[in-house]
Each structure stands twice: as C-alpha cells, then as structure tokens.
Amino acid sequence: MRLVPAFTHTLALRATLALTAALAVSACEAHAATEIDLYFPVPVQGKLAVEMQRLVEQFDATHPDIHATAVYTGSYDDTNLKTRAAIQAGRPPAAVIMSANFVREYVINNEVIAFDDLIRHDGRTPDQFMAEFWPALKLNATENGRVYGVPFQNSTPLLYYSVDAFKDAGLDPDKPPVTWQDWVDDLRKVTKRTGSETTRWGLMFPGTYDYLGWLTSAFAMSNGGEYYNPGYGGEVYYTEPTTIGAVRLIDAFVHKWHVMPEGVTDANAVTTAFFQGRTAMMVLSTGSLSFVRDNMKTPYRVAFLPRSVVNAAPIGGASLILPNGNSAERQAAAWTLINWLVSPEIAGGWSRFTGYFAPRIAAYDLPDMKSYLAAHPDAKVALDQLQYARGWFATYNTVGVRKALEDGVQAVLSGKMTPEAAMEAAQKQADAMMRPYVEQTALKLPE
C-alpha cells in the first residue's frame, strides 16, 4: 500500500473544509431572507405603534424567506416627508402606510409604482382586486385606471357625544343631531356657563394641520360642495359658496353662538376635555374610537356628522404604497407583506384594536368581527356612513395646498379674519402652488 505523506492529508482536509464552508455560505445566500422595511405613521391616539411592531414580528415568524422591519415615522405629514427624502436619496422603503390622499401626488411625481402587474401575477385583475374593498375607497387608491394604493386603515369623521351631557340638557341621547340646525340647537343647550366662565363647551374638534383640512372638507361636502376636483390635481374650490358656508359655520360656533372655544386646539386637548366633561360633543376620526372607549369613564355615543344639504363624509386614513426605486425582489416581498396586512383576519384585528374600519369587506364575515360589532355597536356607525363617503382631498402639492386652507380656517378660529377674506387668501395661495402642474397639464397645448 502506497503511503500518503501527512502534509497531503492536511492539505486535503483543509480543501474539504473550505469547500464545505463555501457550500454552506452559498446555501445561506441562496436562502437568505429578503430584507424589507415598512414605514408607518401613528396619526391618532392609542398604542398603535406597539401593535404594528407586534404584527410585523408575527409576519416575520410566519414568512422565513422575508424579514420585514417596521419603522415608525411619526404623523402622516412626517411620513410623507421621510418617504420622499428616502426616495430622493436612492434608499426608498419597500412599503409605506401612506396617507391615502397623498397617493395622487406620488403618481404625478412618478414616485410610486402601480400594483397592477403584481395583482395580475396572482391571477386577478385590478378591478377584481379592488372589488374586495369598500367602493368608497377606490377613488383615493386608483389613478388613471391603475391601482397605486391598497387601503389599509381607513376612517370617516364622527360626532362623539356625552350621554350625561345630553340628559343634563334635557336632550334625548337616542336622538343625536341630524342637520346643522339640529346641531346648533343642541349645542346651545349643552353648553354650560357660570357667569362669564364656560364650564362645559358644546363642541370641540382639532384645529391642527391635517385634521382641520379633513374636517373642513367634511363640512363643505355636507354643505353640497366638492371642495376639490376629484378628477384633477390642480383645482380646489375654497371660494365657492359651499366651502365659505362651511367656514362660516365654524366661525359661528366660536364667535356667534359661543359653543366652541376660540383658537386652535389639538386632538389630545379635545379628547381630554371630553373625558373630563368639559365638552359635550367632539368631532374626531373613527380611528380614535378604541382610544375613546378605553378612556371615557361615562357613557358616550357616536353618530353621523350632521348635514346641511346632504349626508357626506370624506374618507380618511391610509393606504399601502410601493415607492419607486426598489428591486423586483423587494417589490415582491413587500407585496407579500401588503397582502398579509390587508387579509380579512389581520385587517379585522387591526380594526378591532384601533377603531378604523376594516377596508376589506370580507373581514366583516368573520365570527370575530360579528361578535365585535354586536358588543360595540359604535363601531358600526362609520360603516353605515360609508354609503355617503367621498374621496379625500388630493391635489398636486397636497400638503401645501391643504395648509393654505388650514391657515385661513385657523385665522378664522382665532378671530383674525372673516371666512370670506380667509378663503380668498387661501385660494390665491393654493392656485400659486398648483400653477406648475396646471401649466403642464390643463393649460398645455398640443405640439
């Protein structure tokens, strides 16, 4: 037998170990989880950030080929700014829970990709996919016939009112105000004063950015107006009679009937006053419903927003989007996460946790949701209001155009401007900000 030198054995062993290590690394690389990040906001009160982190951890545990990281990005406006910055830096997040009314601007700026090809790859048409969601959500999810947003957490504004305050004022808590006239009559009755001091306001609602524009649009819609052009990103109707009438209502709450405090109040101050009995009614998102339910120690109820001419409410909340600039692998992984988040089971659980209504119709066929609605009939009010819901304000330069309106309404709330003057200034500012888009589109002549 021929003997092999010891050093030959050593070389052979080293070669074998190196090959084994290389194969192991290659196998790990082949099966490495696709890394994706999800930007998400927390626009209403509650423990939503913790719950979202839990959901993403649950997703990771059940999808070993994908590793998703949840990144809390602040408010809706903050999330918009951070997403744009990431896209411009060449490091876009894989998916974003984005304010639904920003989708149009992302399409205009070519900062988002359509879901159509991913939907077709799953064996459905985009129309079949969108038919699984409440019809009112389609306007803010689609643009030019393509799907750019998948509805995730959605809302309508609701009227919250204290049962004890109603009874104290001699009102029937089973009969909330239906019209603006009803509302004013009831507000004047539930407002309490001791001398010159108001001990209980009739009404409060947030006057801060984003919230105020949403609520002002709700009043304008119920006054018979459109507030903005749902089919075009370069028109708003701030000086139309329906919008001015809505701002006059807000002004009269404060300065004519004195049923609402002067100045700008944020959502936390509004809910605190409601919990402490310092306001009888408040207008807030249905997304705050669970927070109110957990913290209100006396009976309360919710109702539709009172109407002037028609029942109407703007859709609010957020959709999931796919920012431009990601690899096909990351897009596919993000699509898997998005489908999981909007599945009836997960969407239903998120609805029960937050108060947002579940956008997926099938969620309400599940036993857990049926039991939830039976135990909490207040959660059904937003669903009932959906038949009157319309698209949420969406334009070119959405935030700036919206803030022009909000600056005007805040000036009215503070007694610094009349509704007419405030809306005239807001319209001029908005037109100037939308001008580049208008000149590129509506005013552009064929070559």
SS (H, E, C) 100-154: HHHHHHHHHCCCEECCHHHHHHCCCCHHHHHCCECHHHHHHHEECCEECCEEEEE
pLDDT of 17 above 60:
no
State mean pLDDT over 92-97: 98
pLDDT of 378 above 70:
yes
The predicted structure's pLDDT at residue 410: 98
Q: Which tens digit of pLDDT belongs to each residue from 99-139?
A: 999 999 999 999 999 999 999 999 999 999 999 999 999 99
State mean pLDDT over 341-352: 96
The predicted structure's pLDDT at residue 138: 95
State mean pLDDT over 29-55: 84
Residue 331 carries which DSSP code?
H
Q: What b-and-e string marks burial along 183-196, b requiring 16 or more CB atoms within 10 Å of the CB?
A: bbebbebbbbeeee
Residue 310 carries which DSSP code?
S
- CA proximity to 87, closest of 414, 386, 326: 326
State mean pLDDT over 28-50: 80
Q: Bigger pLDDT: 9 or 355? A: 355
pLDDT of 3 above 50:
no
Domains, the chain, ordered by start: 34-155+316-375 (3.40.190.10), 157-314+392-440 (3.40.190.10)
> In the structure, what pLDDT confidence band is assigned to residue 86 with cuts at 50, 70 and 90?
very high
| Distance (Å, whole) CA 243 – CA 241 | 6
Cβ atoms within 10 Å of 272's Cβ, excluding its own: 15
Q: What distance lies between CA 110 and its chain's CA centroid? A: 21
Supply angle C-alpha 162, 219, 403, rounded to 5: 110
Mean pLDDT over the full length of the chain: 92
* CA dist list (Å): 123 to 129, 180, 333, 336, 385: 10, 48, 17, 14, 32
Supply angle C-alpha 177, 276, 301, rounded to 5: 30
| Distance (Å, whole) CA 374 – CA 380 | 9
* The token pair that represents 376 in the structure block: 């909490």
* The token pair that represents 303 in the structure block: 């109702």
Supply the pTM of this predicted model: 0.89
State mean pLDDT over 41-48: 75
> In the structure, what pLDDT confidence band is assigned to residue 44 with cuts at 50, 70 and 90?
low
Q: What distance lies between CA 198 and its chain's CA centroid? A: 34
* The token pair that represents 403 in the structure block: 């803030």
E strand or H helix that includes residue 69: strand 66-72
| Distance (Å, whole) CA 339 – CA 207 | 35
List 68's β-bridge partners, or say none.
Answer: 36
- Residue whose structure tokens are 């539709």: 304
Q: What distance lies between CA 126 and its chain's CA centroid? A: 22
DSSP output for 408-429:
HHHHHHTTSS-HHHHHHHHHHH
- Contact 210/285 with Cβ under 8 angstroms? no
pLDDT of 25 above 80:
no
Quick one: what percent of the chain has pLDDT higher than 70?
92
State mean pLDDT over 204-210: 96
* The token pair that represents 272 in the structure block: 């605190």
- Contact 151/100 with Cβ under 8 angstroms? yes
List 228's β-bridge partners, or say none.
Answer: 236
| Distance (Å, whole) CA 159 – CA 38 | 32
Q: Which residues contact 447 (CB under 8 A, 6 or more apart)?
A: none
State mean pLDDT over 329-350: 97
pLDDT of 11 above 60:
no
| Distance (Å, whole) CA 134 – CA 45 | 24
| Distance (Å, whole) CA 302 – CA 371 | 19
DSSP output for 242-307:
HHHHHHHHHHHHHHTS--S-SS---HHHHHHHHHTTSEEEEEEEGGGHHHHHHH--S-EEEEPPPB
> In the structure, what pLDDT confidence band is assigned to residue 83 with cuts at 50, 70 and 90?
very high
The predicted structure's pLDDT at residue 45: 60
